[in-house]
Structure 1
Amino acid sequence: MKKILVTGARGQIGSELVTKLRSIYGVANVVSTDIRYSEEESEKGPFEVVDVTDEKRIYEVAKDYQVDTIMHLAALLSATAEKMPKVAWDINMGGLVNALEVSRELNLQFFTPSSIGAFGPTTPKDSTPQDTLQRPTTMYGVNKVAGELLCDYYFERYGVDTRGVRFPGLISYVAPPGGGTTDYAVEIYYEAIKQKAYTSYIAEGTYMDMMFMPDALDAIVQLMEADPTKLVHRNAFNISAISAEPMDFAKAIQKHIPEFQLTFDVDPVRQKIADSWPNSIDSSAAEAEWGFKAKYDIDNMTKEMLEKVEEKLK
């Protein structure tokens, strides 16, 4: 990677990934794009308005800036996608195939994230293998499975250097939650600082995989810089750092804020999504093929989250 175009750059991942990429490859070599203009983003470095459902526009920007890599992040997340499944299909799948076509036409390296949402209720729940049954019951999950297969197809059929990971729930203090099922694991830190209490929409005892954003960003860069000859799976590597349920977060927070209280008011829509996902996943393929290793566990993540959120809310 020397010059990179990022779609969906103002989203949860993109807002931090662009900053990290620019710190590594240089500000001028990372083109930030999103569906809406942002004066703030345009002042930080190259920024273009791009609707990923418009293949011609993606092509124009990629060509004009002479990029060698597309990192395609634009998508609707799980809970939002369930509210607007047709819109989710059009954006998530239409945008993906457009970005892949541009990568094929211009011979670009390509990254897009999959998700633990690609698994379903019939997938093994504990230590979910890299290669296993995938029958998701959400539109988001269907999009992710189709996306994994589509990226495989573009590699096998056209030789596009496609790469990807299955992200767990991502926890960050920089960008606000964006409509995901695991958003409670971000909200809980803000409410811990503001109210010393939080009401979880996910039921007690519901385990899901999570990861602190710095580990996620490191994983993207590490995978994209990895030796392609060592990538057996190439797309949709399982990666994870933390398997936790809401009370685990509460206990970690209480080490710093003893009076913190957690209560529950379960949202049936998001709970149903959560119940269809694994309790924990096996990241051994990513570890073996490109050296993935997370740095943060729930305790050191919680300490940093609370410190950063408190600073942010001052």
Structure 2
Amino acid sequence: MTSKILIIGACGQIGSELTYKLREIHGVDNVIASDINTRKLELVNAGPFVILDAKNFNAIKDCCINHNVKTIYLMAALLSATGEKYPMEAWDLNMNSLFHVLNLAKVKQIDHVFWPSSIAVFGPTTPKEDTAQHTIMEPSTVYGITKQVGERWCEYYHEKYGVDVRSIRYPGIISWKTLPGGGTTDYAVEIYHEALKNKAYECFLSEDTELPMMFMDDAIKATVDIMQADADTIKIRSSYNLAAISFTPKEIANSIQEHIPDFKITYKPDFRQAIADSWPKSIDDTTAKKDWNWEHAFSLKDITKEMLLQLGEK
């Protein structure tokens, strides 16, 4: 029986596009998508799909046994902005789902684990410019706390039990295929939708809030690349810094105005401003480049051109 890949949280922003890419690589029938509901019918109908609660250990275990799953991509999480509204739910989902998957790998039920971390692991005391792989990590959000603790557990399970777990710290992700899911960098997706629909956008961050961002194609490529790399090249078992570009709301608005000259942006910072202010402005990802040859492809100009083209066609 061919070993299978299971994606938990496949209906999310990254999970859905990752599902399509992995099916392209490994074959549709070899990649099982799962989520707690069937809200994304296009993905549900595109290949094997199971309803799965990421907090239910027995359900995950049974799925792995029944389908001969040997690799899990755990993409389910409550993100930064949503996590601040529901802190205990965020802790419960983000931490228990990770333990369930790590424990299955510990007893060799599965062989490989991908778990995404985030720039949210950094906090107000972290150096803002070219934030290093190893630096001060004192996150001030529930989401960031769960990711920082999760990194420590991933490293622990690798060191103590030999679990092959791999992780990258995603920056903000920009995609035209899926709507964002409650993160602080959501503005960088919303702004393109509003530019095309209304030629105006009210941003919930201030104009000069610089954050690390990445086009979805680069994020998916990084995820595939790290999982395809030889195990002995993966030196970091907590999570790798990952970078592409950094920009401000004003800079993304300027790039849109090159295509839509009468686009207008206004600013009304809300509670997400404090979250953004606690994060780095730019990331040093030298270690990922050295260990598994990571390299991003899309600039802000490339992203804006692609977003407006694809969303315009939709």
TM-score range, shorter chain: over 0.9
Match of 1:309?
311
Give the 5 Å matches for 1:106-185.
Answer: 106-185=109-188
Q: Which residue of 1 aligns with 2:284?
A: 282
Amino acid paired to 1:147: G
1:200 to 200, 203, 218: 203
Distance in 2 between the 1:298 and 1:146 partners? 32
Residues of 2 paired with 1:8 and 1:311: CA distance? 27
Aligned AA (2:19): V
Deviations 1:226-281 (A, max 9, x none): 111111113311111110110110111111111111110111x1000000000001
Matched, 1:51 2:53: yes
Cα deviation for residue 175 of structure 1 reads 1.0
Which residue is 1:220 aligned to? 223
Number of residue equivalences: 311
Q: Residue type matched to 1:48 in 2?
A: V
1:296 pairs, out of 295, 298, 301, with 298
**Distance in 2 between residues matched to 1:275 and 1:70, nearest whole Å:** 33
| Correspondence 1:46-125 to 2 at 5 A | 46-105=48-107, 106-125=109-128
Given that residues 212 and 296 in structure 1 are in contact (C-alpha distance below 8 angstroms), is that contact kept between their aligned partners in structure 2? Answer: yes
What is the deviation of 1:188?
0.3
Structure 1 runs of 4+ with >3 Å offset: 37-42
Note if contact 1:107-1:160 (Cα within 8 Å) is conserved in structure 2. Answer: no
Q: 2:190 aligns with which of 183, 187, 190?
A: 187
What's the TM-score once normalised by structure 2's chain length? 0.97
Cα offset, 1:161, TM superposition: 0.2
Would you say the 8 A contact 1:166–1:239 is kept in 2? yes
The one-letter code matched in structure 1 to 2:281 is: N
Where does residue 236 of structure 2 map in the other structure?
233
Cα 1:255–1:2 shift into 2, 3 Å: farther
Quick check: 1:125–1:277 contact (8 Å CA) kept in 2? yes
Question: Which residue type is aligned with residue 308 of structure 1?
Answer: Q
**Secondary structure of 1:44's partner?**
coil
Q: Deviations over 1:118-166 (max 9, x none)?
A: 0000000000000111000110000000010111111111111000000
1:2 Cα deviation from its structure 2 partner: 5.8
User: Structure 1: where are the runs of 5+ without partners?
Assistant: none
Q: Is the 8 A contact 1:3 1:25 kept in 2?
A: no
Q: Which amino acid aligns with 2:259?
A: H
Aligned partners of 2:38 and 2:207: how far apart in 1? Answer: 40
Question: In the alignment, is the contact (CA less than 8 A) between 1:52 and 1:99 conserved in 2?
Answer: no
**Structure 2 unaligned residues grouped into runs of 5+:** none
1:65-101 Cα shifts (integer Å, max 9, x gaps) = 1122000000000000000001100001011111211
CA contact (8 A) 2:16 2:43 kept: no
Within a 5 Å distance, the mapping from 1:238-257 to structure 2 comes to 238-257=241-260
Find the aligned partners of 2:238 and 2:65 in 1 and give their Cα distance: 25
Mapped partners of 2:238, 2:177: distance in 1: 27
Asked if 2 retains the 8 angstrom alpha-carbon contact of 1:70 and 1:103, the reply is: no
SS in structure 1 at match of 2:237:
coil
Paired with 2:186 and 2:229, the residues of 1 have a C-alpha distance of 30
Deviates more, 1:251-260 or 1:286-295: 251-260
Quick one: percent identity of the two aligned structures? 49
Match of 1:273 in 2: 275
Q: Relative to structure 2, which stretch is displaced further, 138-147 or 255-264?
A: 255-264
